[in-house]
Amino acid sequence: MNPERVHIAAEATPPPSPGGAETDPGWLWRVWAVVGVFGVVTGVWSRHVGIPLRDPHGGILLKRIGLSLGLLVVLALVDAVLRSRRSRPHRRGVRRVLRERWNRRRTTLTLGGLLAYHLVYFCYHNLKSWDVLNQARDGLLLRWDRWLFLGHSPAVLLHHALGEHLAAYALMAVYESFSTLVSVTVVAAVVFTDRIRDGYVFIASAIYVWILGVASYYLIPSLGPFHSAPQEFAGLPRTMIQDTQARYLGQRAYLLAHPQAHDAFAQVSAFASLHVAITCLILLMARYYRLRMATWAMTAFLIGTVLATVYLGWHFFVDDLAGVAIACSGVALGRLTVYPRGRRTPTEAGAESRKRTGGEAHESSRSPAT
Segment 135-166, tens digit of pLDDT:
999 999 999 999 999 999 999 999 999 999 99
- Residue 88 has a pLDDT of 57
Q: For residue 109, which of 191, 16, 40 has the smallest C-alpha distance?
A: 191
The confidence score (pLDDT) of residue 31 equals 97
Which tens digit of pLDDT belongs to each residue from 205-261?
999 999 999 999 999 999 999 999 999 999 999 999 999 999 999 999 999 999 999
Nearest to 316 by CA among 267, 272, 256, 351: 272
Average pLDDT over residues 84-96: 71
Q: Which pLDDT band holds residue 346 (cuts at 50, 70, 90)?
A: very low
Length of the chain: 370
What is the residue extent of each domain of the chain?
A: 26-342
pLDDT single digits (tens) 281-328: 999 999 999 999 999 999 999 999 999 999 999 999 999 999 999 999
> 146: number of CA atoms within 13 Å, CB side?
9
SS3 content of the chain, % helix, strand, coil (to 5): 70, 0, 30
Nearest CA among 192, 230, 206 for reference residue 312 = 230
Residue 90 pLDDT more than 70? no
Cβ contacts of 162 within 8 Å, gap of 6 or more = 307, 311
